[in-house]
A and B are shown apart, each in its own frame.
Chain A
Amino acid sequence: MKVGIVDFGFGNLKSLERALSSAGFKNLNIIDNGTELHNFDLIFLPGVGVYSEASEKLKHTGLGKAVKSFIRNGGGIVGICLGMQLFSECGNEIVKSDGLALIEGEVKNMKNLPFRKKPLIPLVNWMPVKFKRKHEFYCDLNEIDGKEFYFIHSYYFRPTCEDYLAATYRLNGVDVPAIVGRGNIIGLQFHPEKSGLVGLKLLSLLLNYFKGKL
């Protein structure tokens, strides 16, 4: 299985690269050109930064189109943090801008969620992630059900369709999306490469998951 990490100038690839390597991924490559995507089976889309700027970059470089085409052709994708949020149709950070529209729904500011008590935003903390048992990911990933992962975000992505919501964390009375996706598309709001041993565990589970699927 050929695995690539997409570099579109947003986020820290090094940590992810090292974590994936530790988790057992071999043949890792950095992809900075959309034309290379077809050589890969699975890609990681890590992201840290501002949605509108990232959206602009994806459009401008043609990478956005290339990713959509890659998925249509059966490729697997794991989005992390901003990368996960870019799976959406659009985001509202600074200005309204387009996402990859792999999953229906919008990215919104966490401040608007109906928290019982307003938490500090950005949310920077370790939160236990709870799976929805009926979601298809549960079969392969339930080993990490209830475990704590490192989140750092001010925006959230809740898919329009419930079927795409795989796991959440609960904060002050609200269930905040933590994992979204179906089939070959997996989006992680948290940073597995920053979540210690449990993060590495998840990555190795993902490796097995995709080996089985692709």
Chain B
Amino acid sequence: MEVTKLALREKQKIRLIGRLDIKGPRLIKGIHLEGLRPVGDPFDFAQMYYNEGIDELIYIDVVASLYERSLKADLVNTATEHCFIPVVAGGGIRSILDAQKLMKAGADKVALNTAAVRSPLLLADLVKKLGSQSVVASIEAKQSGENDWEVYTESGREPSGINVIDWARKVELMGVGEILLTSIDKEGTGCGFDIGLARSVVRAVSIPVIISGGFGSLSHLQPVLETGISGIAVADALHFHKCSISDIKAAISAAGYLVRGHYT
């Protein structure tokens, strides 16, 4: 028993991340990356999650690329004022300058999707400038075949024709520190994660993969943890109080995985 405990202690923890989809000043929540249902003030929710023990926060302006604008640095500034945990910021980042503005405002990492797909070398440039640990590749994927997923851009609206495994390998090659993987099919549904997608991408790369989209009940955790993901991003279930952060962490721990703040 003691040996098992020790062995467990050395494993890396599963990171529980609060995902906040932003439009303008609002926290919103869509389903299948569609819909702008307002949830409330993003900072109130972020502070609540911070106080309850969330490990990290992601702010994504989900309509930035669509509206041809970027996540406002002001928002990141306010978001990080009283939140002393890592913050990822993304949404319409198209240049090194865009990324630097957000980092200067307090973001620890920047996340890119649309601009990266259009120009993968931008990722490499950002990695060179900011360091790989500061660059996250945000991948939106939709199932296109039994074991195939296609990469989408512009908030799940434009099919790219690119296979998700090829793209995941490409972003790793560009040097990004980790992947934020969102299932368009599952996100906002609360019906469980896309296990096949998670498994396929984790197997294809050697960098951490954070899975996002579909969490709705504690029973969804075991299957996704088994795929080898490094972290879980949750939005819907937290915003609408379907699960608490401590319940989720307790369930991860009970499933035999480590989380910050919990020990077996």
Contact = CB atoms under 8 A, between A and B. Distances in A.
Direct contact of A and B (CB under 8 A): yes
Interface of A: 12, 14-15, 18-19, 22, 48-50, 116, 119-120, 122-128, 148, 150, 152-154, 170-173, 191, 193-197, 199-200
B85 A195 contact: yes
B98 interface: no
B81 interface: yes
A150 B178 contact: no
Contacts of B138: none
B206 to A, nearest CB: 6
Interface residues of B, number: 34
Contact of A196 (B12, B81, B84): B84
Contacts of B106: 12, 14-15
Interface majority SS on B: helix, strand, loop or mixed? loop
Contact of B208 (A19, A124, A196): A124
Contacts of A119: 12
A146 to B, nearest CB: 10
Nearest to A128: B9
Contacts of B230: 120, 124-125
Contacts of A152: 86, 108, 133
A49 B85 contact: no
A49 B135 CA distance: 12
Contacts of B81: 18
A14 B15 contact: no
Given A124-B208, A126-B15, A172-B11, 4 more contacts: A18-B82, A49-B131, A123-B12, A125-B230
B10 A196 contact: no
A171 B10 CA distance: 5
Contacts of B133: 48, 122, 124, 152-154
